[in-house]
Structure 1
Amino acid sequence: MSYTRFAIYYVPPEGDLARFGAAWLGWDVALGQPADQFDIAQLDDVTMTPRKYGFHATLKPPFVLNAPHSFADLERAVALMAAGCAPAVCDGLALGNLGGFLALRPVGGTAEIARVAAQCVTDLDPFRAPAPEAELARRRAAGLSARQEALLTRWGYPYVMEEFGFHMTLTGRLPDDARAHWQAMTEAHLPPLPAPFRLDQIALVGECVDGRFEVIQRYTLSG
């Protein structure tokens, strides 16, 4: 399989939460294939934006592989990083509104989760090709703070390091008058959420030529 970009995700292990995410979005990122979506009116529409990424939390944003590094080089680097990175734990996950869309977010202290994400960004940065000017311009059009601009320049993405926020996206941006409805729909289908939540594995994922992402390999955090 040929991939256009790579990323490091947290993808929940096989179980109720992973099955919910696949059925909610209509795409199983772990298997790299469509999933039977819940029969809820307009669910296909409100999940259209996050569908291609699958149910996940981004730890290192999508990047083009930087020459002369090979895919095998990247795999070895991710395995080495995971072997030296300690797992992270927080009190749990909860459903909430994030900038107009629904997502699962951590409950309690998040410093350990941020540590894992920062290590993914920094340790694997040599494998990231510089972002093209068009992508940088698109990011800047959203209106960035001075710190976010600095992060974009250094790491190719403005929402890393102290600007990072772990989240597992469930919808696109919702109108104000629709959020309560979709929150209720989501809550009605969510399985019991982990408490505590343990981030003890990461996944190397690839973007297929159709723009959808799939898991290539999972790695246990064992540092």
Structure 2
Amino acid sequence: MTETAPRYALYYAPAADSALWRFGSATLGYDAVTGAGADFAVPPGCESLDWSDVTAEPRRYGFHATLKAPFELANGRNEGALRAFARNYVAGRPSVRLAGLSVNALGRFIALTPSEPSEALQRFAFDIVQAFEPFRAPLSEADLARRLQSPLTPAHRAYLEAYGYPYVDDAFRFHMTLTGSLPEDQVAPVKAALVEAHAQAVPAGPVLIDRVAIFKQASRSSRFVLLDSIPLG
């Protein structure tokens, strides 16, 4: 495991021709389908902020919701096998219908989260975590140390040791990140601005989790790009 080894992740990323994808990519200033920058859509009222700085951290990952967090491939596994397994696995899974997505503050960053809880979504995400576990290399000591910098409960620590990520199963919270960590006094106004921008750009109503995406990061210094977008069912 090195800083130059590629990493892969299993994400939900909306279809590239959807209003939701366009909104997320424009908010972050990056399109993970093309691997190129996108014109920023700075939310109304946020023109005085350095929006490139506000979105710098999530821009590295592209617009998405994490299903299985980034991992290096285990010994004996390769990208082709990962992609083939994903196609076979996803083809047999039904879509998950959410009541909708809404803009919320999670601590000091802003994200889209489900408007209503979904047990089907929780099960779906943890099934993916477990199914793709044979492809995940153990965390390096450096990656483990980075994870342990955050305060973790005993349950989170157990998940980290088992799956390389602390926020799975009952600790999982589906979210599509729109900003990095904000100064405390900016959280409420930025959230309000993104609520308005989201309402203008994306039709209200149910959201179908209808595909699983494989994203790839060529090295730790590069951005994640979309490798595959595989429809469910």
**Once the 2 structures are TM-superposed, how far is the Cα of residue 5 of structure 1 from its aligned partner?**
0.3
For residue 135 of structure 1, report the CA deviation from its aligned partner.
1.3
Once structures 1 and 2 are overlaid, which stretch shifts more, 133-142 or 166-175? 133-142
- Mind listing any 5+ residue stretches in structure 2 that lack a counterpart? none
Q: What CA deviation, in whole Å up to 9, does each residue of 1:36-62 have, x standing for no partner?
A: 112534111110111111111010100
Say if 2:177 is the partner of 1:177. no
Once the two structures are superposed, what CA deviation does each residue of 1:106-154 show, in whole Å capped at 9, x if it has no partner?
0113211112211211111100000012211221221111111110010
Please give the alpha-carbon distance, in whole angstroms, between the structure 2 residues aligned to 1:83 and 1:144: 35
1:12 maps to a residue whose letter is P
Distance 1:52 1:134 in 2: 19
SS at match of 1:66: coil
2:72 aligns with 64
1:159-201 per-position Cα deviation (integer Å, ceiling 9, x unaligned): 0111110000001111221112212321232223552121111
Instruction: Choose the corresponding residue for 1:121, options 112, 129, 144.
Output: 129
Bigger mean CA offset, 72-81 vs 35-44 = 35-44
Query: Distance between the aligned counterparts of 1:189 and 1:77, measured in 2?
Result: 38
Compute the TM-score of the two structures, normalised by the length of structure 1. 0.94
Is the partner of 2:63 in helix, strand or coil? coil
Structure 1 residue matching 2:112: 3-state secondary structure: strand
> Could you tell me which of 19, 24, 29 is aligned with 2:22?
19
The residue that corresponds to 1:213 in the other structure is 224
Q: Matches of 2:120 and 2:197 in 1, distance apart?
A: 29
RMSD: 1.6
Q: Which residue of 1 aligns with 2:53?
A: 45
Change (3 A) 1:77 1:59: same
Q: Matched residue of 1:185: which SS?
A: helix
Looking at structure 2, the residues matched to 3 and 130 of structure 1 have their Cα atoms a distance apart, in angstroms, of 13
Q: Contact conserved, 1:94 with 1:193, CA < 8 A, in 2?
A: no
Counterparts of 1:157-168 in structure 2, within 5 Å, are: 157-168=165-176
Partner of residue 202 from structure 1, selected from 208, 212, 218: 212
AA matched with 2:225: E
The one-letter code of the counterpart of 1:181 is P
Q: Which residue of 2 is the match for residue 35 of structure 1?
A: 38
Bigger shift: residues 9-18 or 94-103: 9-18
Is 38-47 or 141-150 further displaced after alignment?
38-47
* CA deviation map 1:66-115 (0-9, x unaligned): 12111111011111110122211121100000021000000113211112
Q: Is the 8 A contact 1:54 1:213 kept in 2?
A: yes
Number of residue-to-residue matches in the alignment? 221
Among candidates 5, 8, 13, match of residue 7 of structure 2: 5
Query: Which whole-Å CA distance do the structure 1 matches of 2:131 and 2:222 have between them?
Result: 25
- C-alpha displacement at 1:3, in angstroms? 6.8
Q: Does 1:152 align with 2:150?
A: no
What SS is found at the alignment partner of 1:9? strand
